[in-house]
Structure 1
Amino acid sequence: MAGSSEQGKRFVPSTGRFIGRRIVVTGGSRGLGGEVVRLLLAEGARVATCARKVEPLDGLRRSLGVGDELLTCSLDVAVPELLEQFVDSAAEAFGGLDGVVACAGGARGRGITEATVEDWATTWALNAGHFARLAARATPHLRASGGGSIVVVSSISGWKPGPQAQYGASKAAQLHMVASLARELGSAGIRVNAVSPGSMLIPGKRWDRMRQEDPAAFEQFTAEFPGRELVRPEEVADVIAFLLSDQARGVTGINLPVDRGQNAPTPEGY
């Protein structure tokens, strides 16, 4: 984990909503996670984030021009001991924690007859397992700070059926954990909530590639959205920040979809 030794324009907070807050975001180097990190820093938070590869983390830091208000670490969140060390290191560097966001995740494997035991185990570890270990390790730090907020990025695939089953099952597990942990940790002043994005239009990712490579298929897919427009990551980041903030101090144990009213989560139509 490291701060910044690079010279550049300082990152000046634009609002005071998170000044003094210390927040961990997994999977924050790009895409939705990157948007969350940018927003929290812009609103005054100190943020620790992790990703598998060093290069995207370095790119994020360069694009922001930040210093010690951003800590970064390269690790695989599916390895419990590495994730736990990261959380502890962030808490030590910041003098405590006030919030965590489980944004990292993923899937492996194909349909039920093709997916291997390893595909199921890997997908489960990336989503349900990673969230469980993050929440468990962060809880003592949040409790010591007088409470805080835990947010997990789930998916509409957690309750709207679609391929692949191992992904949907792991996302559904996240939603159940949110409901359970909200009750378990409430007495410590810790709120636990989920945000479930619909299909997001992220540069270079699946739907952006479809838009460029197969415009007809992309246009057909947009019919799943009442407004015929996919979700944008900044829209989801805004909701995550809300759940982390004092504005949501009465909100816990919920799953909040940010899907623009999406029907089927994939072009397969289910």
Structure 2
Amino acid sequence: MTDTGHDRRPRAATGRFAGRRIVVTGGSRGLGEHVVRLLLSEGARVATCARRPEPLEALRSSLDSPDTLFTQPLDVAVPELLERFVEEAASALDGLDGVVACAGGARGRGITEATAQDWSATWDMNAGHFARLVATSAPHLRAAGGGPIIVVSSVSGWKPGPQAQYGAAKAAQIHMVSCLARELAADGIRVNAVSPGSMLIPGKRWDRMRQEDPPAFDRFRAEFPGRELVRPEEVADVIAFLLSEQSRGVTGVNLPVDKGQNAPTPEGY
């Protein structure tokens, strides 16, 4: 476990999220890191987690004010570890004002090859993680007078593509948002989903394709009307909007950030 030794004295934070206390799961790399850095840059205090401690330490050491970030390594698919993280984050930040479920993933291949364990693991990383995160953080948001919850789903949640276990788990997240938005509305809690299209993240699948197989990458670009993949900072901006007061009238929605993408993978269908 890594603790920031959070300074409880008042800070002269400025920005859209000055003084706000926000949990972001999966915040050490990729989209999650963009979200964490954006929130910190606009005055928030943030708690985040990831499987490995090294990226979390690298993130903290890169900050000018590392005391504004609470980190903890854990697997979000393990309910008791995720629940303990939320409780310790709320203690370190003196409460919670917002939550972003950014962690996720997939396991297994096609339907005839994927095992029951692949289906279960994919569910736990996505829908299960989101459910436990909401259940554990909602009392803290209620105590603060309400607040936003955002889950990062995917275009794969409603546009068909391989593998089915991933699409099913992402579709479940989207449906949960519409249910939870109604269930938690009386507590002043807004619940929304952001569904990114295929993101161009350095070192990840599409970036490797761009470098290693330019013709295949160019064919994949044809799935986007503007022939440009989504960038993580574009998705982070939308997440920040849904966390902000500017979106106080928005709840129960799934907001695509996909640049009009057609098929979610080069395999199409």
TM class by shorter chain equals: over 0.9
Aligned to 2:119: 120
Match of 1:101? 100
- Paired with 2:143 and 2:16, the residues of 1 have a C-alpha distance of 21
> Take 1:145 and 1:86, find their aligned partners in 2: how far apart are those partners?
18
Residues 1-270 of structure 1: pairs in structure 2 closer than 5 A: 1-3=2-4, 16-270=15-269
CA distance in structure 1 between the aligned counterparts of 2:111 and 2:5, rounded to whole angstroms: 45
CA distance in 2, matches of 1:260, 1:4: 41
Contact 1:24 1:100 in 2 (8 A): yes
AA matched with 1:3: T
**Aligned twin of 1:8:** none
Matched pairs, number: 263
What is the Cα deviation at residue 65 of structure 1?
Answer: 2.9
Paired residues of 1:4 and 1:66 also in contact (CA < 8 A)? no
Q: Which runs of 5+ in 2 are unaligned?
A: 7-11
Structure 2: which amino acid aligns with 1:91? Answer: A
Cα deviation 1:169-220 (Å, max 9, x = unaligned):
0000000000000000001000000000000000000000000000000000
Deviation at 1:150, TM superposition (A): 0.3
Deviation per CA, 1:55-114: give whole Å up to 9, x if none: 111111122232221000000000000000000001111111000000000000000000
- What SS is found at the alignment partner of 1:101? strand
TM-score, reference length from structure 1 = 0.96
Cα drift, residue 19 of structure 1: 0.5
**Pairwise CA RMSD:** 1.2
**Partner secondary structure for residue 66 of structure 2:** coil
**% identical aligned pairs:** 78
Q: What is the DSSP-based 3-state SS (H/G/I as helix, E as strand, rest coil) of the residue aligned with 2:47?
A: strand
Q: Quick one: which amino acid aligns to residue 128 of structure 1?
A: A
Unaligned runs of at least 5 residues, structure 1: 6-11
Q: Contact 1:123 / 1:166 at 8 angstroms: preserved in 2?
A: yes
